[in-house]
Amino acid sequence: MAVSSFDDVTVPPSLEAARLVDWSPAVTPLLFGLPGAAATLEDGYRVLDGSVHPVPGDLVPIAMADERSVACAVARPVDDPLCGTVVMWHLGDSPWQHQARLLDVDVLAYMESLVQQIEARHAGYRLMTERIFPDYERAYLAQEKRPRTFVTRPVRLACQNVVAGLAAFAHDSGFDGLTVAAWQTCELPHVATHDANRAMTALLLCEAFHAGGTMEVRFDGNADYGPHPERAVPASLRRFARTRGIWLGETEHDRARITHDQARELFLSVTPMPVVLRGRVLEGVSRSNATP
């Protein structure tokens, strides 16, 4: 593609806003053409040119989402619902139906969440590998003991022997919900967009339901390990929820928690079911016969 700068493309308002921010050095190695970026917009298009599938002309590369996938802004007229959204483009031989899946609803929101996620990643990884996993191994696995629900339990999510997510949570009787010490997910070239987030969210909410509490989830103070490194609902989880029309952690009061109503809505969203069954569930909820 003969594009060398943003002057040569239609720039949606959310991307224009992202171009006015001095981005953290933590993410600049991943960026194309944005302030502080290590690579130009032209470099981004060269990367897209290496895609197995032809790339639609309305995609503007903004960042590497993983080593073989590019996060792209959708450049369409402002009255188009997809204008300024962010989608994932896989460079490899990914099935066509998995291309251009929604990664976030807004470029600026995506960039801000990426900064929060990357800046906290090292601390979260060290917490899991140097404290939570060894503690659990020593106290429970080595003793062949089964933990109670109030014990912080680690979760490792993998696909084809590649780790896609790490988390640790426990039931907290203080507010009758789930408290999360760690949560990290990532995009992978061989995994569909947001599937690590979807699967980890399902595991988290299954545990919240199984524990028998209100299903409220908090990230601000695990009894064993303190607050989540981001001290808020993790950026990757908020990003995923936005693609499902659910906005988490938007107020100061709820910055580090998922309310019980949001948890139920999210649970319904991540549960695969046939279209007819989903329609019946939504009908039942709308008539107030049951919660999700």
- pTM (predicted TM-score): 0.90
In a domain, 112, yes or no: no
Same domain (yes/no): 47, 188: no
**pLDDT value at residue 239:** 96
In a domain, 60, yes or no: yes
Q: Which tens digit of pLDDT belongs to each residue from 4-37? A: 566 667 788 999 999 999 999 999 999 999 999 9
Same domain (yes/no): 149, 227: yes
pLDDT-based confidence at residue 285 (cuts at 50, 70, 90): confident
More confident residue, 27 or 94: 27
Task: Name the residue range of residue 13's domain.
Answer: 6-104
Q: Which tens digit of pLDDT belongs to each residue from 63-83? A: 999 999 999 999 998 889 999
Chain-centroid distance of CA 254 in Å reads 18
Give the chain's domain count.
Answer: 2
Average pLDDT over residues 137-159: 90
| Count of CA atoms in the C-beta half-sphere (13 A) of 243 | 22
Tell me, what CATH number does 199's domain have? 3.40.630
In a domain, 158, yes or no: yes
Q: Which tens digit of pLDDT belongs to each residue from 167-183? A: 999 999 889 999 999 99
Average pLDDT over residues 84-112: 94
Q: Is the Cβ–Cβ distance between 255 and 207 less than 8 Å? A: no
Residues in CB range of 217: below 8 A, 6 or more apart: 169, 177, 178, 179, 180, 204, 205, 208, 257, 258, 263
Average pLDDT over residues 121-141: 95
